[in-house]
């Protein structure tokens, strides 16, 4: 049974029209819920000039702004599909994505590096914003159903080939509920969004939960450690929720403007990459709850730690408990559920789970078994129900007949006082079949001996898990969401 698309902005425009809904921090523009609702209807009037029809794609190549939120909401009400493209990609990469989704309209805020598909009209974001400002609101129309594509988010490409993940409004609404429950989101919540809005964290997790509850969103063009620190400490902004990847959190604490005693946050929420338990406990010592979790483009919010200091301290390193709207299983290679403490692949089912990949019917079919989505992520669940991520199934390697999960080794390396970042891959070995190769980024001014790193690991994990090689590097290749691109590491030549 199909339901009409939920529209919290329209609801709050009637229920609490004068309440602050959105602030564009770069320009200082502000919208109440009534004003935001009207701006969305004005944007629909602008889109109607381009004869946008339901199901057609509207793409963007632009940094964060409230204009992108308004455009996405207008596309949603029209039944069009919003496709935010990573503006950091090379022109050829952008072209491949645009060719795949075939947009009829593209909003951009810089010179285009990509050749657009035939029939795609480029429009500058500033020109679109001015047209919205000058337009009259379009008449209301019937909303589309919540089970059709509303957003396409292209994965960051940790495997080297981005796929378009279909997000319906049912999916987005379920993520708003899931994160809202786990993250204590309410009517007074104020979210600071500087994560890129071409990613699920920026476009959905940082915007939909507060808008569902009638809270406020503060949209920044991007992350800047100094600016973000000052905004988190600004009592006139009153930020209660902030989402970032662990690398961003580290940059905040190393910045001169770091002043957590002045923050008013419920918590800072992390995801997208492993978050060492030592770091989480360090933040707790500063009086800030660091709430780790696990989510993915295909399912939004999946796991989250409770916003309780005692639980965070007791379960540091875990990704938390399953979100309320989903069903989660951990299964072995034969699809059988594993017991507490055993490693198994995460399978998901629920209204938050994508219906599939754009233009990829075969990959969609491979990703599901009887409505259960195969995440490819390996995890363990303890006796209390808390789930800890072990690794990606494809990143696991076998050394001497034993499974080795690189994330487990990486977390041990990150506990070393001289290591800032670490990544482990499996490489061929004549004796053991495969062994680990660790790439490590050292903290400034530090020097470590590979033998000392091996001893550090040997004291904490089984011998077969200890990497055979430790290779220093200045930086690790990462996606825009902070995930390490191990397919690139596998192609790096060994130095010397």
Tens digits of residue pLDDT in 129-153 = 999 999 999 999 888 889 999 999 9
Strands across the sheet with 469-472, in order? 419-429, 433-442, 469-472
Question: pTM of the full predicted structure?
Answer: 0.85
Three-state DSSP class for 488? helix
Q: In the structure, what pLDDT confidence band is assigned to residue 88 with cuts at 50, 70 and 90? A: confident
Mean pLDDT, the chain, integer: 92
DSSP summary character for residue 386: -
The whole-angstrom separation of Cα 192 and Cα 232 is 8
Q: In the structure, what pLDDT confidence band is assigned to residue 312 with cuts at 50, 70 and 90? A: very high
pLDDT of 156: 58
Comparing 1-15, 154-168, 305-319, the range with the smallest average pLDDT is 154-168
Phi, psi (rounded to 5 degrees) for 216: -125, 150
Q: Which residues contact 107 (CB under 8 A, 6 or more apart)?
A: 58, 59, 60, 61, 62, 67, 68, 71, 123, 124, 125, 128
C-alpha radius of gyration, the chain, whole number? 23
The whole-angstrom separation of Cα 423 and Cα 441 is 9
Sign of CA pseudo-dihedral 108, 111, 117, 122: positive
Q: What is the pLDDT of residues 220-262, one digit of tens each?
A: 999 999 999 999 999 999 999 999 988 789 899 999 999 999 9
Listed by start position, the domains of the chain span 8-388, 396-489
Q: 396-489 sits in which CATH class?
A: alpha beta
pLDDT of 399: 85
The alpha carbon of 382 is separated from its chain's Cα centroid by a whole number of angstroms, namely 25
The alpha carbon of 496 is separated from its chain's Cα centroid by a whole number of angstroms, namely 37
pLDDT of 197: 96
pLDDT of 448: 86
The angle at the Cα of 376, spanning 55 to 368, to the nearest 5 degrees, equals 50
The angle at the Cα of 306, spanning 300 to 311, to the nearest 5 degrees, equals 145
Q: Is pLDDT above 50 for 44?
A: yes
**Percent above pLDDT 70 for the chain:** 97
The whole-angstrom separation of Cα 43 and Cα 135 is 8
Look at 345 and 273; give whichever has higher pLDDT.
Answer: 345
Cβ–Cβ under 8 Å, residues 341 and 348: no
Q: What is the pLDDT of residues 437-481, one digit of tens each?
A: 999 999 999 988 999 999 999 888 878 899 999 999 999 998 766
Cβ–Cβ under 8 Å, residues 84 and 60: yes
Q: Which residues contact 269 (CB under 8 A, 6 or more apart)?
A: 183, 241, 242, 243, 244, 291, 292, 293, 304
Q: In the structure, what pLDDT confidence band is assigned to residue 3 with cuts at 50, 70 and 90? A: low
Average pLDDT over residues 35-47: 98
Comparing 57-71, 320-334, 420-434, the range with the smallest average pLDDT is 420-434
pLDDT of 224: 96
Q: In the structure, what pLDDT confidence band is assigned to residue 484 with cuts at 50, 70 and 90? A: confident
The whole-angstrom separation of Cα 323 and Cα 303 is 6
pLDDT of 481: 67
In the numeric block, which tokens belong to residue 230?
A: 């000052």
Q: In the structure, what pLDDT confidence band is assigned to residue 179 with cuts at 50, 70 and 90? A: very high
Look at 157 and 358; give whichever has higher pLDDT.
Answer: 358
Q: Is pLDDT above 70 for 160?
A: no
The whole-angstrom separation of Cα 303 and Cα 311 is 14
Average pLDDT over residues 341-352: 96
Q: Is pLDDT above 90 for 93?
A: no
The whole-angstrom separation of Cα 451 and Cα 156 is 35
Q: Which residues contact 38 (CB under 8 A, 6 or more apart)?
A: 13, 137
Q: In the structure, what pLDDT confidence band is assigned to residue 318 with cuts at 50, 70 and 90? A: very high
DSSP summary character for residue 114: S
Average pLDDT over residues 187-202: 95
Q: 8-388 sits in which CATH class?
A: alpha beta
Q: Which residues contact 226 (CB under 8 A, 6 or more apart)?
A: 255, 256, 257
The whole-angstrom separation of Cα 426 and Cα 379 is 19
pLDDT of 495: 64
DSSP summary character for residue 165: E
Residues 349, 354, 360, 366, Cα dihedral to 10°: -10
pLDDT of 446: 92
pLDDT of 496: 58
Average pLDDT over residues 375-394: 89
pLDDT of 158: 44
Given the structure tokens 């989505």, which residue do they identify?
373
pLDDT of 392: 72
pLDDT of 460: 87
pLDDT of 407: 83
pLDDT of 453: 94
Q: Is pLDDT above 80 for 394?
A: no
Q: Is pLDDT above 90 for 159?
A: no
Q: In the structure, what pLDDT confidence band is assigned to residue 2 with cuts at 50, 70 and 90? A: low
């Amino acid at each position: 049974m199909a339901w009409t698309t939920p529209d919290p902005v329209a609801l709050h425009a009637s229920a609490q029209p004068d309440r602050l809904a959105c602030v564009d921090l770069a320009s200082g523009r502000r919208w109440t819920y009534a004003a935001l609702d009207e701006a969305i209807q004005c944007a629909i009037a602008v889109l109607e000039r381009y004869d946008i029809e339901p199901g057609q794609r509207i793409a963007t190549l632009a940094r964060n702004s409230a204009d992108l939120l308004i455009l996405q909401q207008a596309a949603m009400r029209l039944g069009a599909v919003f496709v935010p493209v990573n503006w950091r990609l090379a022109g050829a990469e952008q072209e491949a994505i645009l060719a795949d989704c075939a947009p009829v309209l593209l909003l951009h805020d810089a010179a285009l590096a990509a050749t657009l598909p035939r029939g795609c009209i480029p429009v500058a974001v500033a020109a679109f914003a001015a047209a919205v400002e000058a337009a009259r609101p379009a008449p209301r129309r019937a909303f589309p159903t919540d089970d059709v594509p509303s957003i396409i988010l292209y994965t960051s490409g940790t495997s080297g080939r981005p796929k378009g993940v279909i997000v319906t409004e049912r999916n987005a609404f379920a993520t708003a509920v899931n994160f809202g429950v786990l993250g204590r989101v309410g009517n007074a919540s104020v979210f600071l969004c500087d994560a890129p809005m071409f990613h699920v964290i920026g476009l959905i997790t940082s915007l939909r939960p507060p808008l569902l509850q009638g809270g406020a969103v503060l949209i920044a063009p991007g992350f800047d450690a100094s600016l973000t620190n000052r905004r988190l400490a600004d009592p006139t902004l009153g930020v209660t929720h902030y989402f970032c990847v662990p690398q961003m959190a580290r940059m905040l604490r190393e910045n001169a403007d770091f002043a957590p005693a002045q923050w008013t946050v419920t918590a800072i929420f992390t995801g997208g990459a492993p978050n060492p338990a030592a770091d989480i406990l360090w933040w707790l010592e500063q009086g800030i709850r660091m709430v780790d979790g696990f989510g993915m483009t295909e399912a939004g919010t999946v796991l989250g730690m409770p916003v309780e200091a005692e639980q965070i301290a007791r379960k540091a390193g875990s990704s938390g408990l399953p979100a309320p709207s989903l069903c989660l299983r951990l299964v072995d290679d034969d699809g059988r559920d594993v017991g507490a403490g055993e490693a198994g692949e995460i399978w998901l089912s629920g209204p938050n789970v994508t219906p599939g990949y754009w233009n990829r019917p075969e990959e969609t079919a491979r990703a599901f078994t009887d409505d259960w989505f195969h995440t490819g992520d390996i995890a363990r669940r303890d006796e209390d129900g808390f789930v800890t991520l072990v690794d990606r199934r494809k990143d696991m390697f076998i050394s001497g007949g034993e499974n080795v999960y690189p994330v487990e080794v990486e977390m041990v390396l990150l506990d070393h006082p001289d290591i800032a970042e670490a990544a482990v891959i499996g490489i061929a070995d004549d004796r053991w079949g495969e062994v680990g190769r660790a790439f490590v980024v050292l903290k400034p001014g530090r020097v470590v001996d590979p033998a000392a790193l091996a001893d550090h690991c040997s004291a904490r994990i089984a011998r077969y898990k200890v990497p055979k090689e430790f290779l220093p590097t200045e930086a690790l290749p990462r996606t825009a969401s902070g995930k390490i691109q191990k397919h690139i590491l596998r192609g790096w030549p060994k130095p010397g």
